[in-house]
Structure 1
């Protein structure tokens, strides 16, 4: 949900066509769909932290990765007693050799899809005692090895846009995780730089907008009809504020970034603004809480999450005075257990 102090918007996508959404791209498309994309590529492998058995299947950690064509796998199943932790197995073979006591290939698909999905039992039961990014990190870690593979990336973006429209969301900001320096290419080597990721995104977006226009559906996507789309909406630092370094530790770099843009004579509307995550914490007077002050001093265009902002009436007033937008995420707050949903409170 994206809230502007003068123009509040409720992101109810069942009734509001022009809802606004900001999304972590890695976690957007259906897990079953992502698995189907992965199975089209024989180079994609899977590994597990231990042998998959009826006792371990719900707690085991898994990871995906496209490997070099020359890679020789030594095991054909995650379920064999001889399987060694973190040993790579071709995804297709792992699916074919899924232990019969665990089910068939469809059961394998359901298991993988569940690993790629944040579900209610994870959010409200398994991870209830973990305050922070634990639940998100589990699904994100699984999906990255599938998403950041150039042959999948292009199809993934198109599917992401299709599902966005299907959800009746007509404006979206996709947050791409730039932590890997390179994406893995078709040859199994990590050699696709960030600029190629963005170029592909731009190409697919242009194709998608064109297909909507050809169908007379361009009004379903605000970015295609009413706005000149900016591929860089802003600069942010993302992560668990409760354990990572605060904004003030990056002041020299952040200030020089602003100075550099001004020194090059860029007009205001062409500069990349700050759009910081800040105050995404249930704590009080912590470093994460202090990020709110530093974000505003740095001139952030808006504040992501801002969960602890409600404890700071003066900062709330400053947000209103400056016309600063606040991105709020009730569902994310539930998943990260920053507050308890009503059904949990009532059942407890």
Structure 2
């Protein structure tokens, strides 16, 4: 069986795949163009893809009738037309759970970097800008007693909330439905999105990207936030309307933002690059050796299971 891997992955995952079939890897470690992807998948029984790969009906048709499984090395699967693949009898899988702690750690790191102006201070020193200590120098914002608003209290949102409690933050959250067990464990309060935006000192995004959440944070949502509030996004870039965010930051409508994901990734709204009250990282949420290896291994196990006629560990349900 031919297994197409769209980008290089850690060795332990490749070992699993090579035991299940003949593995194809691109010569260069870069994102494939649409044309390259369709050419590569011809005759494939399985695909291991990344979040920047768009896998739709035409890609499945290019693979042909042998295609049985598409394993996304990510939790989100907004890059995959699940319905189109299901109509062709193709199983779609993802890699939930394994990146929860890594992403939550980065979220808190971004929050601290933003509110305590850590990156800004680093840039000041590297530029050899003259400075001296005084009581008004580069003041940031403390966290104790402030309110963290979490949009989407899933696994990652809950992990962020647990860490946030250690800093003395109060927790409110919004989402499609309440999570009573998490409320009790985290002393978290369910509120409407409007109330969350209006009252939170920090808004942290952890909802999946769907048609409903695309541009969830737009000009109107940003206008509801307090001028002293911060926005953190480690979920999917298009949840935030980047141009509207740049407008709000330039006008001082909110205090700052930290982004690990971008609306048109890898491109970034140019105005955000010029603002000192913005922290930017290149999609590092899951970027630890341990986490990325485990993600790839889980994707490989999903492939191996389907090709051997078994139920995969992490099927995506419609």
| TM-score > 0.5 by shorter chain | no
TM-score scaled by length of structure 2: 0.28
TM-score scaled by length of structure 1: 0.26
Question: Higher helix fraction: Structure 1 or Structure 2?
Answer: 1
